[in-house]
Structure 1
Amino acid sequence: METSPSDQQTDQADRPRPFLHGRTVRVLLAALVGIAAGILLLKTGQVPGDQAVPPGWLATAAAAVIAALCAILMGLRGLWPVGAALAPPAAALALLAAVPAWVFPLLILVLAGLFWNVRSERVPLYLTNGTAQKALADVIDDQPGARDGHIIDLGCGFGQTTFTLARRFSDAEVVGVETAPLVFAIAWLRGKLIGLDNVRIVYRNLWAEDLHRYDAVYCFLSSEPMPRLIAKANAEMRPGSILISNTFTDSGDTSDEVVLVGDSRETQLRIWRF
C-alpha cells in the first residue's frame, strides 16, 4: 500500500524524538556540563592559583567555554551557545551574592512551567504582537461564518491574542488551548479577571483538539509541527473554514494565501481555506 506525503509527514511527526532534540533541553544540559566541569577544575586544583585573576573566576571562565562548546557540539547555533555560556558566570554571581538556596528550585519550577511542552510538542513560546493581532482579526472578519462562529487559538500562550479576538468578535465563541502549566495558569487567570463571556482557556494538547467544529483556527507554532497540523486540518476541518498560521508553513508551502502584516518582524499570515 502506498502512503501519501501527508501520511508520511504525520508518521514522522509521531515517531519518538531523541532526548537531545529540544533546544532548551540541550542548552540546559550544556550549561550543567560546563558548571560541573568548572567545579571539577576548582576542586581538583587544576586551575593555577598564582594568577592575577582569582582561581574561582578562571574556573568560571573555563566552565563558560566548555558550556558553549558543548552547545555547539549538540548542534546549537546563533545565541543558544551564548545562553549556555552565560550559565556558569550567573551561577558564580549567585553564590557570591549569597542568593537563598530556595531561589534555585523555584527558578527551575518557573522555567519548567514556562517550557514544559517544548520538547514534546516542539513549540517554543512565541507571542503574537499587536500589529499581527489586528491583521489576524481582519482576516477572520472577512471569513463568512467566523465572525459569529467558533474560533480557536492553538497554543494560546498568555492569552493576549485569544482575548483580542474575543473582544473583536463578541458573538463568536473563542477558545485558547495551552499545555505549558505556568503559561496556561496565567492565561486562565487573566481570562477570569477580564470576564469575557465568550472566551474559554483550556488546558489541552492541540493534537487532542477536534478542529471540525471551528470556523477559524489560528496558530503560531514552529516549522516542525506544521506538516502534521496541515494534515490534521485537511482531515478534520469542514468546508468554508480557515486555518491561519503566523509565519510558519509546511515544507511544500501549500498555503492558499499570504498576508504581509508589515510589522518590524516582517510577519506573514499564511492562510489555508477549506
Structure 2
Amino acid sequence: MAIGEERAVLRLPVLRALLAQGLAVALVVVLVYLLALLPWRMSLLSVALLQGVLAAVIGWRLGLSRWWLWINLAFLPALLVVQRAELPGWLFLLGFVLLLLVNWNSLREQVPLYLSGRKAQQRLQQCLSERELPLRFVDLGCGTAGTLLQLARRFPRGQFVGVETAPLLFVFAWLRCLLQENCSIRYQSLWQVDLATFDVAYCFLSPVPMPRLWAKAQTEMRAGSWLISNTFEIADVPADQVFEINEGRQTRLLLWQMKGADIR
C-alpha cells in the first residue's frame, strides 16, 4: 500500500478509535503488571475504567471528535457491565447494527454525525432572509432534518431538500418531514446531487470532503448561489462571509458566493 493510501486509511475515525483502544490496552497491561510487583491490586472494573480514560485521551490526541471519545471511554467498562449482567447475545448484535445504521457516513465518507445547534439555525435563517423568495435549499447530509424542518417552516415559499445515506437517520428525517409540504428527504449521496438546481447548499460535514465539495460546487452551482459550511473551511479558499456562532463544537458559518457575484 502506498504512503498516501496508508494515510487516507488512518484518517478513518473507526480505525483511529481502534488504535486508541489497542494502545490503551497495552498501557494498562504494562501498568497492571508493574502494580502486581507491589502489594497493590486493582479490581477488574477499575482496570476497565482506567483503560477507557486512556483510550479517550489517546483518541483525543489522534483528533477524534467528541462523540468518539465517549465511545472510547465507555467501550470496555460497558462490555464488562453487560457481561456481568448476563444479557442475551442478540442485544450486542442489535446495538452494533443500530450504531452502523446511524454512523454509516462516518465509516464510508469520514463524515461523523454533526447536528446544527440553535444558534446556527438562527444564523442560517438570517442569511436566507437576504435571498429573494422563493428559493431552493439543499442540506447535504441532513441527519435528523432538524435544521431543514426549521427553515422550511420559517420560509413556506421556499423548497427545502435534505439528502442522507445513513439508513436510520434517513428514515427518521423522512418521517419528520412527511407533513411539511415544502420539505422533502432523499436517500441520496451528496455527490449525486445536482447543485445547479439549488440557490443555497448547506453542509456540516468534516474537513475531509470539503476540497472535493468545493470542486463540485464550482462546476455545478450557478452565479450568485451560495455554499454554506458549518465550522469546516475549504483549504486555501477564503470564505466571502464568516458568521460567528460559538456554540459548542460549532464555531462559525462560512459562506462562499459562487462565481464572483456581489453579495447582497
Q: How far off its partner does 1:240 sit?
A: 2.0
Between the aligned partners of 2:15 and 2:139, the Cα distance in structure 1 is 26
Between the aligned partners of 2:123 and 2:65, the Cα distance in structure 1 is 30
What's the TM-score once normalised by structure 1's chain length?
0.76
8 Å CA contact 1:222, 1:248 repeated in 2: yes
8 Å CA contact 1:244, 1:269 repeated in 2: yes
User: CA, structure 1 residues 81+65, in 2 after alignment: closer, same or farther (shift >3 Å)?
Assistant: same
Q: How far off its partner does 1:53 sit?
A: 5.0
- The answer to whether structure 1 residue 24 and structure 2 residue 8 are counterparts is no
8 Å CA contact 1:255, 1:271 repeated in 2: yes
Between the aligned partners of 2:236 and 2:154, the Cα distance in structure 1 is 33
> Could you tell me the percent identity over the aligned residues?
38
The DSSP-based 3-state class of the residue aligned with 1:133 is helix
Amino acid at match of 1:131: K
User: CA, structure 1 residues 254+188, in 2 after alignment: closer, same or farther (shift >3 Å)?
Assistant: same
* Ranges in structure 1 where 5+ consecutive residues have no aligned partner: 1-14, 39-46
User: CA, structure 1 residues 91+70, in 2 after alignment: closer, same or farther (shift >3 Å)?
Assistant: same
The DSSP-based 3-state class of the residue aligned with 2:177 is helix
The DSSP-based 3-state class of the residue aligned with 1:267 is strand
Amino acid at match of 1:24: V
Deviations for 1:25-80, whole angstroms, at most 9, x for unmatched residues?
43246547978999xxxxxxxx97xx8757755774686588669858x9456865
Q: How far off its partner does 1:266 sit?
A: 6.1
Residue 149 of structure 2 corresponds to: 163
Between the aligned partners of 1:258 and 1:136, the Cα distance in structure 2 is 12
CA RMSD, 1 decimal = 3.5
* Ranges in structure 2 where 5+ consecutive residues have no aligned partner: 29-34, 259-264
Residue 114 of structure 2 corresponds to: 126
Residue 227 of structure 1 corresponds to: 211
Residue 236 of structure 2 corresponds to: 252
User: CA, structure 1 residues 24+175, in 2 after alignment: closer, same or farther (shift >3 Å)?
Assistant: same
The correspondence of residues 141-180 of structure 1 with structure 2, limited to 5 A, is: 141-144=129-132, 147-180=133-166
Between the aligned partners of 1:71 and 1:263, the Cα distance in structure 2 is 22
Residue 96 of structure 1 corresponds to: 84
Between the aligned partners of 2:123 and 2:22, the Cα distance in structure 1 is 42
Q: How far off its partner does 1:163 sit?
A: 0.6
Amino acid at match of 1:110: L
Q: How far off its partner does 1:17 sit?
A: 7.1
**For 1:111, which of 90, 94, 99 is the aligned residue?**
99
8 Å CA contact 2:17, 2:64 repeated in 1: no
Between the aligned partners of 1:26 and 1:134, the Cα distance in structure 2 is 34
Q: How far off its partner does 1:172 sit?
A: 1.4
